[in-house]
Each structure stands twice: as structure tokens, then as C-alpha cells.
Amino acid sequence: MHYYNKLKLLALASVLSVASARPSTIDIRGNPDPEACVNGKAIYVASNAASNAVVAVPIAENGSLQVAKGSSTATGGAGANGLEDGGKPSGPDAIFSQSGVAIAGDYLFAVNAGSNTVTMLAIDKHNPAKLTVVGKSASLPGEFPTTVAASDKYKLVCVGLTGAKAGVACAPYSPSGIGAVDALRPFNLGQTTPPAGPLNTVSQVFFSDDETTLYVTVKGDPTVGNTGFLAAFPVQNTRSSCHAAASVAAAGVTSSPSGTAVLFGSATIKGSSNLFVTDASFGAAVLSVDASGKAATVGKGVIAGQAATCWVAISPATKTAFVTDAGLDRLVEMSLTDASIIGSPIDLSASNGGVDPGLTDLRAAGSFVYALSPGNGTTDAAITVFNALTKQAVDHVSVASLGLTKNAEGMAILV
């Protein structure tokens, strides 16, 4: 059984009712957040091909994508695919994760799932589509890296790995490259390399809004009674400027928030310690995190008819979350307060002639949301540009000419 079908059955079995839809009325003129009006400069997507590369696409002043000015920069590492049921290489959703690439300041980091490395690239200050590899790719103490987070404040990069040696490892970085990688903080997933997924795999690593905590979401497998969890690792020595450098603690706190099972993509909710996290078994949830790092469920939104809700971005213009589903060409808008659904699911098929089989990674800047459809091997990889205020798709562009295929996974945006 394909995993989308498994997750549909899990969603039908949920004991909670579908969250009530409610209208959204937003006036950006009254929005005090300066980020609400600042468009992105470029988006970046990892090809995850055998010879991995990062594709950069500049963003025009009107929010549209300038594919003709795009670029592809080899990381020097190798991409790879996880395995679906029956041992078939997965794609789309090739590495079962969110944040396969991450930006901190003027640097971008990309995981190389097939070579167990992470690469650092510099973003040119005058041309955001120009990337340059910095130093050498760093070897990691685990297998099958799928997700990366970077702290500009503390100059740390952390990578989640989900193969036979699964866990998270971190390193300092500087303008000369990535420093020594520390020991693996292991997760006992009982996985293989490549991993069989997407259930029972590491989903995402990301830093808290103040960058003092590293979070990791890990999917469970409800079909065998395996519960997923959120892990929280504090950043240490954050106030030491003369002696020990900042580092991520070797030990963390894990918790399985009530009613969750397959935690996937995440986003920090600005101005709070809460997190918005998708759960592929039903939709999404808002989690609170206490001072010890333990998470609790604040609210759940059950999305009717979902296949696998996995990725999320928060729009600074609407202050709402938008989530995607690899099996459906639509966006769902949700509340940051309780994960309730806002309005009706937004069908994007009319804007692209129905060619996109579903959406994976997405990012938001200003009033625009950028959503990737890697295609399925017969349709092109493409990106939809969506206006979060008007709820309309304003652009749909193929990125196949830049080397992106159904293996593409991992998106970041430079603001």
C-alpha cells in the first residue's frame, strides 16, 4: 500500500472532528510587521540528483520568478532517494523531509543524502543567484542526512540524519567554512540506509525563533504503534564571548504531544515559544514548548480528504500558515492560534492546467508563497507563486530547465 493511502486511513480514524472553516479578512495596511511588505530576493531548491546541486532563482520586484536568470551550483556531494513500500525509490518526497537547504545570513547550507555530507555555500551580495562553495563539504557521523538548520546568531549548523545511524550532529561555521562536526545525538529508529519511509524517519531540524534551542521533529509509524516525537536541545554558552563558543547540548528532551503521530514540517510562531507543525496522519497542530523543552498540543486541525500534509510556511503578510500535500495540488490556510482551517482549501489546478500532481516544499516572503511541485517523472518540476492576501496564484513556472526533477527536495528563501 502506498504511504499516501496509509495516511488517508489514519486520518479517517482520527477521533477529532474536522476543524470548522472560517473566513479570513486581512488588511496589510494595518500590519505593523515590516516583513509583511518585504519580498524575497531569491529562492533556492536542492536538486537531490546523483550529483547534487542547489538551484537559485531570482525573485522580481513584483514577486514573480526569473527562471531565465537562474543558476545551478554543484555541492560536490551526492543526492539519494529514500525507499517507498516494496523498495521503490521515493519521488516526489525523495528524502522525507523539510529544510533540505537552509539560509543563515549570507550563507546557504545543503545536505547531501548520498554522501553523508553537508555543504556550505556563500550567497553573492549583489547577485543572489550566484553561489560559491565555501571550504570542503563536512563529513557527518551518521547516515542519510535529510534536513539542515543554521543559526546566524551563534554560527552553528546542525544536520538531521535518518539512515541506519540516525540522529542529529552540529558544527560551528565561519567565513572559511564548516568546522569540526560533533558527536551524533542518536535516535533509535531501527532504520536502514537508505531509509524506508516516510514513516519512522527524521523530518526536520530547526532553531527556535531566538535561536537558543534546536528542535527536531521525528515521524512515528501509527500502523505499528510507534509514536513520533519532538526533540529539543538547548544551545549552550550563548552569553560567552571570550571563552567557550556556543554549542548544542549533547542531551535533549523528547516528548510526544497528545494526538500527534507523524510530525513533519515545522515553523516557529513569531513572538511566542509555540510551534506550528504538520502531521501527515491528519493535518497540523500548534504545539507549546515549556522551559524544559517538553511540547504539548494547543490545537489540532484535521484536514478532510488529505493524502499527506507534510510541509508548512508562515506568511508574514497574513500571519497564517499555509500547508501542502504531496498528493494534492492545493494549499490549505490554517490559524497560528489553534491550527483551525481558514476558509476552504485552495485548489491551484486551474492555474497550471492540472499538470502538478501535488506540492511539497514551500516558503513565504512578503505577501507571496512559493510552492514546489517536483513533478512525478512525466510532468515538469514547477513552482507556483501564490498571493497570500488575494488567495490567487499569480505565476506558475517550470524549473526543469535548471535541472530539477521529481527528486528535488528542500527549499529556502532569501529575504
The residue ranges of every structural domain in the chain are 3-18+32-414
pLDDT at res. 334: 99
- Name the average pLDDT for the chain: 92
pLDDT at res. 24: 38
Q: What is the mean pLDDT of residues 331-354?
A: 95
Q: What is the band of 242 on the pLDDT scale with cuts at 50, 70, 90?
A: low
pLDDT: which is higher, 19 or 53: 53
Element (H, E) at 12: helix 3-12
Bridge partners for 196 per DSSP: 83
Q: What is the mean pLDDT of residues 145-157?
A: 98
pLDDT at res. 36: 74
Element (H, E) at 5: helix 3-12
Kindly report, residue by residue over 87-133, the tens digit of the pLDDT.
999 999 999 999 999 999 999 999 999 999 999 999 999 999 999 99
Q: Measure the CA–CA gap between 307 and 363, rounded to whole angstroms.
A: 20
Q: Measure the CA–CA gap between 66 and 70, rounded to whole angstroms.
A: 7
Q: How far is the CA of 367 from the CAs of 26, 36, 103, 327, in angstroms?
A: 11, 6, 20, 25
Q: What is the mean pLDDT of residues 318-333?
A: 97
Query: Taking 80 as the threshold, does the pLDDT of residue 139 lie above it?
Result: yes
pLDDT: which is higher, 15 or 318: 318
Q: How far is the CA of 108 from the CAs of 129, 144, 207, in angstroms?
A: 12, 19, 15
Report helix, strand or coil for 396. Answer: strand
| Closest listed residue to residue 148, CA positions, set 121, 188, 127, 175 | 121
Q: Measure the CA–CA gap between 355 and 379, rounded to whole angstroms.
A: 7
Confirm if 336 and 272 have CB atoms less than 8 A apart: no
pLDDT at res. 27: 43
Query: Taking 50 as the threshold, does the pLDDT of residue 12 lie above it?
Result: no
pLDDT at res. 32: 54
Question: How is domain 3-18+32-414 classified at the CATH fold level?
Answer: Methylamine Dehydrogenase; Chain H (2.130.10)
Q: What is the mean pLDDT of residues 240-262?
A: 89
Q: What is the mean pLDDT of residues 193-198?
A: 97
pTM over 0.85: yes
pLDDT at res. 23: 35
Query: Taking 80 as the threshold, does the pLDDT of residue 86 lie above it?
Result: yes
Kindly report, residue by residue over 21-43, the tens digit of the pLDDT.
333 334 444 555 667 778 999 99
Q: What is the mean pLDDT of residues 219-228?
A: 91
Q: What is the band of 328 on the pLDDT scale with cuts at 50, 70, 90?
A: very high
Q: What is the band of 267 on the pLDDT scale with cuts at 50, 70, 90?
A: very high
Q: How many helices (H) and strands (E) does the chain have?
A: 2, 31
pLDDT at res. 228: 94
